[in-house]
């Protein structure tokens, strides 16, 4: 508490400071005050207007003070003049009266007459000894007057005495005068004392002085106001306009362009700089919205124009069509013909689209090989579709590129305002969805957005989100489906098929979530896990003394393109202690046909490790037979659709037969997938197929069930097939036990 008190008291009380201030001269104090004011004001913005008002007020105040001083001086001067005129008159009268006087008493009437005048208050005559002998003021009689001031002066001379302290009734103005008199008839000298009524005279002059003062003040105020107005007009207003102009970056209308004074010059310099800035900004904006290669607008431009068109359509009604055109396999053009050729193709496409556009249509390049078109002058979705297919046809016309003739296919996704969305982002997203669909449908397709596409996209997103969780929480398992050798009836292998039991939705088919995993990149960890688990399981079965079989793992196109696939697989085999001959990879035919050279390299490396390669779904991917010869393949898997048809029509067996013969000619073994009944089995057997996989041989089953199945599978399959047909056509997954039970399992 004590300390607090001390602290509070210490700040305001500064004895040293006070002592110093006390020791300062007035000039030093003024200087210190000015310095303090400067420090206070520094850092505070004070507008020109305030400064001018302050300065003019100061000037006005100083002028008013000067007028006051002048008036006072003038008043004093006038008063003194008036007093002196009257004193000299009185001196003349007294001098004459003294010359004629035979006694001091004879002067009394003169004195009385003088005091009757308005300006003389009192008058007295003192003898040579300085004593007052006759006076109008009875109080003075007999008093002594100091005569020293008059010594040496001649008669009739007037001397101003100021205040005669020892004479009573002294007024406000020092109006005491002494006059030396000679009284020849009495043969003596005397001194007359005059006391003037200065108050009366001052009262007479005061009115005049006030008038002067008033006029001067009015003049000063008027002059200051006039100067203020002029300064405002000539300096303050232009500076303020300049400030507004600068603050708004040249947006304000009135530019203080005045004559060529300093403000005008600054204003012009500012205006030039603003204009230059605006030009640069406009150029940057236009560059930021333009695609350098095709000189079309880019995605930003496209979206902003789309927003404009939407607002216009909101006001005036009408449809707005949004199309996204994508060039088919544009990457191949870049990869095979080089980027210059790719650029040419893009420029050609831009030119074609520009050529096809009608009045208000907007064309932009919104992605590497994607072009956006906004169409406004349409009446229906059909109009938009027609326009889209016209664009696709125009782009797809064959053209020459150097020595080569090229055909660049394209497809379009399109969507309409207002039915599919009311916002630029939504419409672009919908057009994108429609485009994905049209890519799926194949070259030349034009797909109009439908709500199902959106629902499907949402579904995909949900699956992706849940799948991430499932991967993290180990909610995935592997099922195994047996492959059976037709000649011996033995289980020679198993295909590992992934299963996901969703917490709420139950089993989700891999056909549903594998594409999502591929698109999201989740497929990479997923495949690693499948490989690891399949190898671990196979090794475990071998350690349990079960017949040694190969386990097949499906890999996706994404996996196949990864350069680390070989390493991942080799590491997995080492970690799980499985010999490579018991691992097989299933790749689909369509997968190997993309980037053939890269894929062949990867497959060869894998093959050289001793891993078997099987081509899945064979017959659906239009693979070139020439390539087939180059693939280091161990097995071809006839697609289920061919097996399905095999027993039906008259020529259902033709394609399987061709595949089997071809494979055998190339020294590759054949497995038929999706074999569901004995008829199919028999026909395949007749055609010389090596192995079968399908419900007839055994459904995909959990590892534990498969273990039992494998343990009991020494006998031939066909032995049990009769039983399947006899017991139930319905293929049911059940743990198999020997040939008979295997039949019933199917």
**From the CB of 495, what's the least distance to Mg ion, in Å?**
5
Question: Which among 546, 582, 543 has a CA at the least distance from the CA of 710?
Answer: 546
Q: Pick between residue 110 and residue 585 the one whose CB is nearest to Mg ion.
A: 585
**From the CB of 719, what's the least distance to Mg ion, in Å?**
27
Determine which residue in the list 674, 720, 735, 743 makes contact with ligand C2E, applying CB under 6 A. 674
Q: Pick between residue 433 and residue 675 the one whose CB is nearest to ligand C2E.
A: 675
Number of residues written out for the chain: 746
Among ligand C2E, Mg ion, none, partner that 432 touches (CB below 5 to 8 angstroms by kind): none
545 secondary structure, DSSP code: T
Q: Pick between residue 386 and residue 477 the one whose CB is nearest to ligand C2E.
A: 477
Q: Helix, strand or coil for residue 241?
A: helix
Instruction: Tell me the DSSP string of 178-230.
Output: EEEEEETTTTEEEEEEEEE-HHHHHHHHHHHHHHHHHHHHHHHHHHHHHHHHH
Q: Pick between residue 466 and residue 584 the one whose CB is nearest to Mg ion.
A: 584
Does position 683 interact with ligand C2E (CB under 6 A)? The reply is: no
Of 165-173, 364-372, 503-511, 618-626, the segment contacting ligand C2E by CB under 6 A is 503-511
Report CA torsion sign: 64, 70, 73, 77: negative
Does position 646 interact with ligand C2E (CB under 6 A)? The reply is: no
Q: Pick between residue 309 and residue 559 the one whose CB is nearest to Mg ion.
A: 559
Of 368-376, 531-539, 579-587, 679-687, the segment contacting Mg ion by CB under 5 A is 579-587
235 secondary structure, DSSP code: I
Determine which residue in the list 122, 176, 676, 690 makes contact with ligand C2E, applying CB under 6 A. 676
Q: Helix, strand or coil for residue 310?
A: helix
Size of the site for ligand C2E (CB under 6 A): 23
Of 32-40, 157-165, 550-558, 707-715, the segment contacting Mg ion by CB under 5 A is 550-558
Integer Rg of the chain from CA: 60
**From the CB of 366, what's the least distance to ligand C2E, in Å?**
32
How many Cα atoms are found within 13 Å in the side-chain-facing hemisphere of 136? 19
Does position 42 interact with ligand C2E (CB under 6 A)? The reply is: no
Q: How far apart are CA 716 and CA 691, in angstroms?
A: 12
Determine which residue in the list 695, 711, 740, 743 makes contact with ligand C2E, applying CB under 6 A. 695
Strand extents, DSSP E, 564-650: 583-588, 612-618, 635-638
Q: Pick between residue 158 and residue 713 the one whose CB is nearest to ligand C2E.
A: 713
Among ligand C2E, Mg ion, none, partner that 533 touches (CB below 5 to 8 angstroms by kind): none
Tokens 């295997």 -> residue: 742
- Give me the 575-614 binding string for ligand C2E, x by CB under 6 A, dash otherwise: -----------x----------------------------
User: Helix axis angle, 718-727 relative to 678-687, nearest 10°?
Assistant: 150
Does position 670 interact with ligand C2E (CB under 6 A)? The reply is: no
C-alpha distances in Å from residue 396, one per residue of 249, 370, 406, 469? 51, 15, 9, 44
Beta-strand pair 132-135/158-162: unpaired
Among ligand C2E, Mg ion, none, partner that 691 touches (CB below 5 to 8 angstroms by kind): none
Does position 616 interact with Mg ion (CB under 5 A)? The reply is: yes
Determine which residue in the list 466, 586, 676, 707 makes contact with Mg ion, applying CB under 5 A. 586
Q: Helix, strand or coil for residue 45?
A: coil
Size of the site for Mg ion (CB under 5 A): 4
CA 161 to chain centre: 90
Q: Which helix (H) or strand (E) holds 56?
A: helix 48-100
Does position 511 interact with ligand C2E (CB under 6 A)? The reply is: yes
Q: Pick between residue 87 and residue 636 the one whose CB is nearest to Mg ion.
A: 636
Q: Pick between residue 369 and residue 466 the one whose CB is nearest to ligand C2E.
A: 466
Determine which residue in the list 176, 328, 617, 707 makes contact with ligand C2E, applying CB under 6 A. 617
User: Helix axis angle, 381-395 relative to 339-356, nearest 10°?
Assistant: 140
101 and 186 Cβ atoms separated by less than 8 Å: yes
Among ligand C2E, Mg ion, none, partner that 482 touches (CB below 5 to 8 angstroms by kind): none
Q: Pick between residue 554 and residue 572 the one whose CB is nearest to Mg ion.
A: 554
Q: Pick between residue 420 and residue 617 the one whose CB is nearest to ligand C2E.
A: 617
Burial of residue 614 (CB within 10 Å: 0-12, 13-18, 19+) is buried
Does position 510 interact with ligand C2E (CB under 6 A)? The reply is: yes
**From the CB of 701, what's the least distance to Mg ion, in Å?**
16
Which distant-in-sequence residues (6+ apart) come within 8 Å of 380 by Cβ? 319
Q: Pick between residue 623 and residue 741 the one whose CB is nearest to Mg ion.
A: 623
- Tokens linked to 385: 């579709």
Among positions 481-500, residues that touch ligand C2E (CB under 6 A) are 481, 497-498
**From the CB of 486, what's the least distance to ligand C2E, in Å?**
15
Of 251-259, 260-268, 341-349, 553-561, the segment contacting ligand C2E by CB under 6 A is 553-561
Q: Pick between residue 306 and residue 611 the one whose CB is nearest to Mg ion.
A: 611
Q: Pick between residue 190 and residue 549 the one whose CB is nearest to ligand C2E.
A: 549
Among ligand C2E, Mg ion, none, partner that 413 touches (CB below 5 to 8 angstroms by kind): none
Q: How far apart are CA 526 and CA 570, in angstroms?
A: 17
Where would I find the H helices in 494-588?
A: 510-520, 523-543, 557-561, 565-576
Determine which residue in the list 137, 438, 556, 623 makes contact with ligand C2E, applying CB under 6 A. 556
C-alpha distances in Å from residue 448, one per residue of 361, 414, 457? 18, 5, 15
Of 13-21, 211-219, 486-494, 694-702, the segment contacting ligand C2E by CB under 6 A is 694-702
Does position 533 interact with ligand C2E (CB under 6 A)? The reply is: no
Report CA torsion sign: 330, 331, 334, 339: positive
C-alpha distances in Å from residue 293, one per residue of 281, 304, 343, 347? 21, 20, 7, 7
Determine which residue in the list 617, 676, 705, 707 makes contact with Mg ion, applying CB under 5 A. 617
Q: Is 670 left (phi over 0), alpha (psi -120 to 50) or beta?
A: beta
Of 28-36, 138-146, 221-229, 693-701, the segment contacting ligand C2E by CB under 6 A is 693-701
Phi then psi for 417, rounded to 5 degrees? -95, 140
CA 427 to chain centre: 24
Q: Pick between residue 67 and residue 527 the one whose CB is nearest to ligand C2E.
A: 527
Determine which residue in the list 107, 411, 555, 599 makes contact with ligand C2E, applying CB under 6 A. 555
Among Mg ion, ligand C2E, none, partner that 538 touches (CB below 5 to 8 angstroms by kind): none
Of 41-49, 437-445, 505-513, 717-725, the segment contacting ligand C2E by CB under 6 A is 505-513
Does position 554 interact with Mg ion (CB under 5 A)? The reply is: yes
How many Cα atoms are found within 13 Å in the side-chain-facing hemisphere of 99? 7
Among positions 698-717, residues that touch ligand C2E (CB under 6 A) are 700
As a whole number of Å, the end-to-end CA separation of the chain is 97
Determine which residue in the list 421, 694, 720, 735 makes contact with ligand C2E, applying CB under 6 A. 694
Q: How far apart are CA 132 and CA 192, in angstroms?
A: 9
Report CA torsion sign: 365, 371, 372, 373: positive
Among Mg ion, ligand C2E, none, partner that 510 touches (CB below 5 to 8 angstroms by kind): ligand C2E
**From the CB of 535, what's the least distance to Mg ion, in Å?**
17
612 and 630 Cβ atoms separated by less than 8 Å: no
Q: Which residues bind ligand C2E (CB under 6 A)?
A: 481, 497-498, 509-511, 514, 527, 530, 554-556, 586, 616-617, 640, 673-676, 694-695, 700
Q: Which residues bind Mg ion (CB under 5 A)?
A: 554, 586, 616-617
């Amino acid at each position: 508490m004590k300390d607090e008190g001390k602290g509070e008291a210490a700040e305001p009380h500064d004895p040293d400071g006070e002592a110093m201030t006390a020791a300062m001269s007035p000039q030093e104090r003024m200087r210190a005050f000015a310095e303090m004011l400067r420090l206070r004001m520094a850092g505070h913005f004070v507008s020109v207007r305030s400064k001018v008002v302050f300065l003019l007020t100061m000037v006005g105040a100083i002028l008013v003070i000067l007028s006051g001083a002048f008036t006072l001086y003038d008043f004093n001067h006038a008063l003194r003049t008036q007093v002196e005129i009257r004193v000299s008159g009185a001196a003349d009268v007294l001098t004459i009266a003294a010359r004629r006087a035979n006694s001091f008493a004879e002067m009394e009437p003169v004195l009385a007459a003088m005091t009757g005048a308005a300006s003389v208050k009192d008058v007295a005559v003192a003898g040579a000894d300085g004593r007052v002998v006759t006076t109008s003021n009875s109080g003075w009689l007999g008093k002594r007057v100091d005569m020293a001031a008059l010594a040496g002066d001649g008669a009739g001379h007037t001397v101003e005495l100021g205040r005669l302290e020892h004479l009573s009734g002294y007024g406000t103005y020092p109006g005491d005068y002494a006059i030396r008199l000679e009284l020849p008839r009495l043969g003596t000298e005397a001194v007359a004392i005059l006391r003037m009524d200065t108050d009366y005279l001052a009262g007479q002059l005061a009115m005049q002085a006030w008038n002067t003062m008033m006029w001067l003040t009015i003049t000063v105020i008027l002059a200051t106001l006039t100067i203020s107005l002029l300064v405002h007009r000539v300096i303050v207003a232009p500076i303020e306009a300049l400030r507004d102009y600068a603050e708004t970056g040249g947006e304000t209308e009135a530019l203080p362009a005045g004559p060529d004074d300093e403000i005008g010059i600054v204003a012009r310099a500012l205006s030039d700089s603003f204009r230059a800035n605006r030009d640069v900004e406009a150029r940057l904006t236009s560059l930021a919205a333009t695609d350098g290669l095709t000189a079309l607008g880019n995605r930003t431009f496209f979206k902003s124009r789309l927003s404009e068109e939407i607002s216009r359509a909101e006001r005036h009604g009408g449809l707005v069509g949004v199309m996204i055109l994508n060039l088919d396999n544009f990457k191949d053009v870049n990869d095979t013909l080089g980027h210059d050729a790719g650029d040419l193709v893009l420029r050609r496409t831009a030119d074609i689209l520009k050529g096809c556009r009608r009045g208000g249509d907007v064309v932009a390049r919104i992605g590497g090989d994607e072009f956006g078109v906004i169409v406004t002058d349409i009446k229906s979705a059909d109009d938009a579709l027609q326009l889209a297919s016209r664009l696709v046809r125009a782009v797809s016309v064959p053209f020459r590129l150097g020595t080569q003739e090229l055909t660049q296919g394209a497809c379009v996704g399109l969507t309409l305002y207002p039915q599919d969305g009311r916002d630029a982002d939504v419409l672009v997203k919908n057009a994108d969805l429609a485009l994905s669909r049209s890519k799926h449908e194949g070259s030349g397709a034009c797909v109009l957005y439908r709500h199902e596409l959106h629902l499907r996209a949402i579904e995909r997103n949900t699956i992706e989100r849940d799948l991430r969780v499932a991967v993290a929480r180990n909610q995935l398992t592997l099922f195994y489906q047996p492959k059976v050798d037709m000649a011996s009836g033995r289980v020679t292998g198993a295909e590992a098929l992934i299963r996901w039991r969703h917490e709420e939705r139950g089993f989700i088919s891999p056909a549903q979530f594998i594409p999502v995993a591929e698109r999201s990149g989740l497929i990479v960890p997923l495949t690693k896990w499948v490989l690891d688990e399949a190898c671990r399981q196979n090794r475990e079965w071998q350690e349990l003394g079960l017949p040694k079989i190969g386990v097949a793992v499906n890999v996706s196109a994404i996996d196949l393109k990864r350069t680390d696939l070989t390493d991942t697989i080799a590491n997995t085999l080492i970690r799980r202690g499985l010999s490579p001959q018991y691992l097989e990879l299933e790749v689909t035919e369509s997968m190997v046909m993309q980037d053939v050279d890269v894929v062949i390299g990867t497959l060869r490396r894998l093959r050289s490790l001793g891993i078997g390669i099987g081509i899945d779904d064979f017959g659906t991917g239009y693979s070139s037979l020439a390539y087939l010869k180059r693939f280091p393949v161990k097995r071809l898997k006839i697609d289920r659709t061919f097996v399905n048809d095999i027993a039906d029509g008259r020529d259902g067996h033709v394609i399987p037969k061709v595949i089997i013969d071809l494979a055998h000619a190339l020294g590759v073994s054949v497995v038929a997938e999706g074999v569901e009944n004995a008829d199919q089995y028999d026909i395949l057997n007749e055609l010389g197929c090596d192995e079968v996989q399908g419900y007839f041989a055994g459904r995909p089953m959990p590892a534990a069930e498969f273990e039992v199945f494998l343990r009991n599978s020494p006998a031939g399959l066909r032995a049990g097939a009769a039983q399947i047909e006899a017991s139930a056509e319905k293929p049911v997954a059940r743990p198999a036990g020997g040939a008979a039970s295997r039949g019933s399992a199917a």
